[in-house]
């Protein structure tokens, strides 16, 4: 019997039921999709299966026992069920994290990288000082242990403009022709794949005019790449102008700006600098920073920062400066002048920071971890231990022992944050710094109870402890705390303009 009221209510019911029907279908599809990886994991034989580890991923906030399957250099499965692999490794009791990304590594050779990879680093980039020309980018292909890359080096370009005269490059302004030439070099480097522009501003402090500095910001803004800057340090240690001038330029040009090593250039200003960076970000400016976990800095004995009244700006004297080959401190101006003349390329260690400044920086959510590791090329040489133990030191000393930041937070600062700094213009970085399906299998596996740095100022050439396995692109580079000899799987990291 026709019953209009029933019929209309029937239609209404169906219409009313439609969203429920649709959501049920959606749920079924989601369940099906989530089951596919499970089904695949049951039958697929991966190139490598890492079973039973504590998988920590900063993108999804996963921190749980999972099994990781790797196929063709990428992460292909993350599963609760154990996975089959041509090779299966039991990593139970160990943390499985994305490989660490170091935005600030001067030691761009395999000797230094052997220490870095034993410290968990799978990508080490020279972004503070950079390079020009970028020949090394191609020359090192197939010869590098870990992934590598460079910024366009302002200092190198300046030296070239000043025809190899370092003193002039450090302290003389550029005329219009020279400025054009220098910008041309940096543009070429960016075309060749440089990851931004690297500026050791305090080293060339008096030579760089306001016009030159602004032109560098404008170039970076036009190319949509960041500037990595060692800021100027005024003589007065309460003076905030070193950072302010760069934040003002960031606002004016809308460039992206990364302040390198906030503790060694900030000193007692660290809390103020962090606040300035916070408020710049609140205004929508793209400003970031980094720190290394040591109370001493390091640089060349003949670097430009010692050509002027350095005692004032650092608040130290000769006794705070260490000569690494002997471990002794400088005793007088005479000794200092003599060493500067005798050891033209000597590197020194400057005991200038307080532990509380290091902690203020490392515990702040905006601060990434980056080593500032210095170059060495033989066991006989000694350098600052930060190039050997920076990352294990953060995990062991600052997470486990001092508890100033959580393990998850430390991993985020070493992986996702540096990847995000670069990924807007370097697509390869979108697959790094995370432990998700499809990401590059750059993976660091460590013992959270044991991990610690062993490199000291007195004996820097020591590998970190507790970094058990390290994979670069799915290949073991460290296995059972030993470097796998003869493996050179590091790839160049370049911007998306490379070769354009
Ligand atoms: Zn620096």
Measure 414 CA to ligand 1 centroid, in angstroms: 19
Measure 398 CA to ligand 1 centroid, in angstroms: 22
Measure 43 CA to ligand 1 centroid, in angstroms: 51
Convert the pLDDT of each residue in 112-157 to its tens digit: 999 999 999 999 999 999 999 999 999 999 999 999 999 999 999 9
Measure 300 CA to ligand 1 centroid, in angstroms: 10
pLDDT of the residue at 107: 87
Least confident window among 10-14, 191-195, 379-383, 443-447: 10-14
Measure 462 CA to ligand 1 centroid, in angstroms: 23
Three-state secondary structure string covering the chain: CCCHHHHHHHHHHHHHHHHHHHHHHHHHHHHHHHHHHHHHHHHCEEEEEEEEEEEEECCCCEEEEEEEEEECCEEEEEECCCCEEEEEEECCCCEEEECEEECEECCCCHHHHHHHHHCCEEEEEEEEEEECCCHHHHHCCCCCCCEEEEEEEHHHHHHHHCCCCHHHHHHCCCCHHHHHHHHHHHHHHHHCCCCCEEECHHHHCCCCCHHHHHHHHHHHHHHCCEEEECCCCCCCCCCCHHHHHHHHHHHHHCCEEEECCHHHHHHHHHHHHHHHHHHHHHCCCCEEEEECCCCEEEEECCCHHHCCCHHHHHCCCHHHEEECCCCEECCCHHHHHHHHHHCCCCEEEEECCCHHHHHHHHCCCCEEECCCECCCCCCCCCCCCHHHHHHHHHHHHHHHHCCCCCHHHHHHHHCHHHHHHHHCCCHHHHHCCCCCCCCECCEEEECCCCCECCCCCCCCCCCCECEEEEEECCEEEEECCEECCCCCCCCECCCCCCCC
Of the candidates 303, 485, 291, the residue with the CA atom closest to the CA atom of residue 404: 291
Compute the distance between CA of residue 182 and CA of residue 361 in angstroms, rounded to an integer: 34
Mean pLDDT, residues 275-302 taken together: 97
pLDDT of the residue at 9: 41
Asked whether the bond before 133 is cis by omega within 30 degrees of 0, the reply is yes
Measure 202 CA to ligand 1 centroid, in angstroms: 8
Angle between helices 210-223 and 176-191 (to 10 degrees): 30
Convert the pLDDT of each residue in 191-204 to its tens digit: 999 999 999 999 98
pLDDT of the residue at 376: 86
Structure tokens at 370: 């980056």
Measure 261 CA to ligand 1 centroid, in angstroms: 7
Per-chain mean pLDDT for the chain? 92
Measure 227 CA to ligand 1 centroid, in angstroms: 13
Measure 259 CA to ligand 1 centroid, in angstroms: 10
Burial of 198 (0-12, 13-18, 19+ CB in 10 A): buried
Sign of CA dihedral 299, 301, 302, 308: positive
Of the candidates 92, 96, 88, the residue with the CA atom closest to the CA atom of residue 45: 88
Q: Note the Cα 107 to chain centre separation in Å.
A: 14
For ligand 1, an ion, list residues with CB under 5 A.
230
Sign of CA dihedral 268, 269, 272, 277: negative
Measure 201 CA to ligand 1 centroid, in angstroms: 9
Of the candidates 365, 500, 496, 473, the residue with the CA atom closest to the CA atom of residue 424: 496
pLDDT bin (cut points 50, 70, 90) of residue 23 is low
Comparing 190 with 34, the larger pLDDT belongs to 190
pLDDT of the residue at 330: 96
Measure 299 CA to ligand 1 centroid, in angstroms: 8
pLDDT of the residue at 392: 98
- Collect all residues with Cβ–Cβ distance below 8 Å to 33 and sequence separation of at least 6: none
Q: Is the pLDDT of residue 12 over 50?
A: no
Structure tokens at 450: 């044991």
pLDDT of the residue at 497: 67
pLDDT of the residue at 20: 56
Measure 324 CA to ligand 1 centroid, in angstroms: 18
Neighbours of 344 (CB within 10 A): 11
Mean pLDDT, residues 80-91 taken together: 97
**Can you name the residues that pair with 49 across neighbouring β-strands?**
69, 88
Compute the distance between CA of residue 115 and CA of residue 100 in angstroms, rounded to an integer: 13
Query: Which residue is it, tokens 């000291």?
Result: 456
pTM of the entire predicted model: 0.91
CB hemisphere CA count around 212 (13 angstroms):
23
Degrees to nearest 5, angle at CA 497 with 194 and 387: 25
Measure 298 CA to ligand 1 centroid, in angstroms: 8
Query: Which residue is it, tokens 């058990």?
Result: 468
- Maximum mean pLDDT: which of 40-44, 222-226, 379-383: 222-226
Mean pLDDT, residues 429-446 taken together: 98
Q: Which fold has domain 98-483?
A: TIM Barrel (3.20.20)
Share of the chain above pLDDT 70, in %: 91
Strands 95-98 and 296-300: unpaired
**Torsion angle, alpha carbons of 486, 492, 493, 494, to 10:** 180
For the beta sheet containing 367-369, the strands, ordered from the edge strand earlier in sequence to the opposite edge, are: 100-102, 121-131, 147-153, 197-199, 226-229, 256-259, 287-291, 367-369
Of the candidates 398, 429, 433, 427, the residue with the CA atom closest to the CA atom of residue 415: 433
Mean pLDDT, residues 78-99 taken together: 97
């Amino acid at each position: 019997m026709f019953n209009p009221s029933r019929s209309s209510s029937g239609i209404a019911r169906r219409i009313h039921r439609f969203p429920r029907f649709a959501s049920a279908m959606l749920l079924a599809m989601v369940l099906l999709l989530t089951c596919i990886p499970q089904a695949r994991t049951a039958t697929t034989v991966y190139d490598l299966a890492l079973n039973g580890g504590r998988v920590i991923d900063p993108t999804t906030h996963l921190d749980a026992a999972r099994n990781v399957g790797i196929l063709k250099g990428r992460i292909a499965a993350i599963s609760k069920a154990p996975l089959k692999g041509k090779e299966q490794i039991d990593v139970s009791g160990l943390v499985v994290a994305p490989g660490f990304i170091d935005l600030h590594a001067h030691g761009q050779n395999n000797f230094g990288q052997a220490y870095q990879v034993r410290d968990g680093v799978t990508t080490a980039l020279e972004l503070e000082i950079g390079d020009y020309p970028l020949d090394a980018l191609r020359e090192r292909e197939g010869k590098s242990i870990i992934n590598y890359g460079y910024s366009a080096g302002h200092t190198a370009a300046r030296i070239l403009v000043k025809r190899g005269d370092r003193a002039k490059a450090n302290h003389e302004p550029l005329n219009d022709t020279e400025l054009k030439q220098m910008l041309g070099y940096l543009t070429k480097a960016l075309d060749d794949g440089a990851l931004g522009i690297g500026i050791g501003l305090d080293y060339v402090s008096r030579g760089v005019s306001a016009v030159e500095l602004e032109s560098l910001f404008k170039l970076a803004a036009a190319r949509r790449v960041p500037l990595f800057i060692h800021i100027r340090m005024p003589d007065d240690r309460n003076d905030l102008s070193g950072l302010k001038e760069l934040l003002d330029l960031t606002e004016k040009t809308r460039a992206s700006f990364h302040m390198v090593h906030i503790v060694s250039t900030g000193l007692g200003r660290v809390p103020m600098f962090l606040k300035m960076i916070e408020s710049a970000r609140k205004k929508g400016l793209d400003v970031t920073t980094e720190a290394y976990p040591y109370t001493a800095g390091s640089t060349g004995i003949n670097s430009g920062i010692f050509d002027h009244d350095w005692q004032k700006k650092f608040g130290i004297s000769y006794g705070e400066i260490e000569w690494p080959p002997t471990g002794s401190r400088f005793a007088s101006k005479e000794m200092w002048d003599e060493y500067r003349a005798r050891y033209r390329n000597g590197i020194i260690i400057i005991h200038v920071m307080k532990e509380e400044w290091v902690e203020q920086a490392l515990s702040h959510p905006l601060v990434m971890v980056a080593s500032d590791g210095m170059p060495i090329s033989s066991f006989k040489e000694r350098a600052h231990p930060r190039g050997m133990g920076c990352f294990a030191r953060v995990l062991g000393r600052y997470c486990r022992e001092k508890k100033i930041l959580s393990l998850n937070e430390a991993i985020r600062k070493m992986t996702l944050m540096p990847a995000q700094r670069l990924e807007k213009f370097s697509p390869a970085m979108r697959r790094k710094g995370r432990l998700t399906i499809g990401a590059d299998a750059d993976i660091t596996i460590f013992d959270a109870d044991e991990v610690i740095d062993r490199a000291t100022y007195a004996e820097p050439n020591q590998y970190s402890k507790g970094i058990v396995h390290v994979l670069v692109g799915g290949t073991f580079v460290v296995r059972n705390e030993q470097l796998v000899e003869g493996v050179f799987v590091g790839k160049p990291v370049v911007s998306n303009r490379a070769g354009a």
